[in-house]
C-alpha cells in the first residue's frame, strides 16, 4: 500500500513508490500493480499480465499479503492511475522521482504486475529519461513488446531481465539473452548452472551470467504445485501440449474437407 511520511504541522506525503521487505533490505524502491486478471471496482475485468503463462498459477503476488484488502485496493488505485490517466501518472511519477530520497537509488518497476500495453511501457521510458539520477530495472514476460520498443532504444538508466513462465518464452534465446527461471530450490538452480540471485534482487540485471536463477517462494501449496520443475520447463510442456492439440485439430479439419 502507499507509504506516507509526515512531520509535526505538515500534511503526510503519499508516495507512489514503496518498498516491500525484500527490496527494503537492499535499498530498492518498487512500483506495484495487481497481478494477472483482476476485477475492478466497476465490475469489469482487466488482464494486467497479458503474456502470463504457467506463472499465473504459481504467482506469489496472488497470495498472502498481496490479497489483504487494503493492499489490493492500493494496487488497483495504482493501475487505474497509470491506465486511465497516463499523463497524470507520468507527471506525478516524474515529479516524485526528483525527490532527494531517490538520488542514486534503484527502482524496480513491478514487483507485481506487468507492462500491459505499448503506451504504458513508453510512458515509463519517458519517465526514466526524465529521471537521469535514478536507475530502473524490471523482470518481464512481455518479450515481443520489449524487442519492438526497448531493445534498440533503451534509456541509459534502464536494465531488464526476461522472465520464463510466459506465453512468449519461445522468443528468448536461452543461451545469450538475460533471463530468469524459478527453481524449486537453490540446489536445483546451481545444478542447472544458473546464478543464484538470493543475495540481492539486483543480481537479476547485474550478475555476470545472463542465466538468473530464483529459488521458489516457500509457499507450501505453490511448492507442491510446482514440484521439481522450473517455470520454464512447465511452460515448455504446456506449449508442446498446445502445439500437439492444434496439430490434431488441423489434421481433423483437413480430413473433413
**pLDDT 10s per residue in the chain (257 long)?**
456 554 455 567 789 999 988 999 999 999 999 999 999 999 999 999 999 999 999 998 888 778 788 899 999 999 999 999 999 999 999 999 999 999 999 999 999 999 999 999 999 999 999 999 999 999 999 999 999 999 999 999 999 999 999 999 999 999 999 999 999 999 999 999 999 999 999 999 999 999 999 999 989 999 999 999 999 999 999 999 998 888 887 777 778 87
Strand partners, 139: 161
Residue-level pLDDT at 66:
80
* Domain spans of the chain, in order of start: 14-256
Query: Which helix (DSSP H) or strand (DSSP E) does residue 214 occupy?
Result: strand 211-215
Q: In the numeric block, which cell numbers belong to residue 58?
A: 504459481
What is the rounded distance in angstroms from the CA atom of residue 1 to the CA atom of residue 41?
Answer: 17
Identify the three-state secondary structure at position 257: coil
Residue-level pLDDT at 1:
45
Fill in the DSSP letter of residue 216.
P
Measured CA distances, 35 to 129, 157, 193, 227 (Å) = 26, 25, 29, 22
Q: What b/e sequence results for 102-115 when a residue is b if at least 16 CB atoms lie within 10 Å of its CB, and e otherwise?
A: beeebbbbbbbbbb
Nearest to 50, CA basis, from 2, 111, 116, 109: 116
Amino acid at each position: 500500500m502507499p507509504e506516507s511520511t509526515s512531520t509535526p504541522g505538515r500534511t503526510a506525503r503519499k508516495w507512489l513508490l514503496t518498498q516491500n521487505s525484500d527490496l527494503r533490505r537492499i535499498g530498492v524502491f518498487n512500483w506495484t500493480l495487481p497481478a494477472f486478471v483482476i476485477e475492478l471496482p466497476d465490475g469489469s475485468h482487466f488482464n494486467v499480465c497479458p503474456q502470463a503463462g504457467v506463472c499465473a498459477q504459481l504467482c506469489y503476488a496472488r497470495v498472502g499479503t498481496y490479497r489483504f484488502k487494503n493492499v489490493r485496493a492500493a494496487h488497483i488505485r495504482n493501475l487505474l492511475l497509470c491506465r486511465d490517466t497516463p499523463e497524470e501518472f507520468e507527471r506525478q511519477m516524474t515529479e516524485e522521482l526528483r525527490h532527494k530520497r531517490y538520488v542514486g537509488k534503484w527502482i524496480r518497476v513491478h514487483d507485481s504486475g506487468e507492462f500491459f500495453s505499448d503506451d504504458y511501457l513508453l510512458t515509463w521510458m519517458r519517465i526514466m529519461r526524465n529521471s537521469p539520477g535514478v536507475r530502473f530495472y524490471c523482470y518481464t514476460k512481455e518479450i515481443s513488446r520489449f524487442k519492438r520498443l526497448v531493445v534498440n532504444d533503451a534509456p541509459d538508466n534502464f536494465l531488464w531481465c526476461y522472465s520464463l513462465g510466459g506465453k512468449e518464452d519461445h522468443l528468448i534465446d536461452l543461451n545469450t539473452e538475460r533471463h530468469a527461471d524459478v527453481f524449486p530450490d537453490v540446489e536445483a538452480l546451481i545444478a542447472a548452472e544458473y546464478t543464484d540471485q538470493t543475495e540481492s534482487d539486483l543480481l537479476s540485471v547485474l550478475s555476470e551470467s545472463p542465466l538468473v536463477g530464483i529459488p521458489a517462494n516457500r509457499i507450501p501449496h505453490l511448492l507442491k504445485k510446482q514440484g521439481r520443475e522450473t517455470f520454464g520447463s512447465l511452460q515448455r510442456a504446456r506449449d508442446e501440449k498446445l502445439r500437439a492439440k492444434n496439430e490434431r485439430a488441423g489434421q481433423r479439419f483437413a480430413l473433413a474437407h
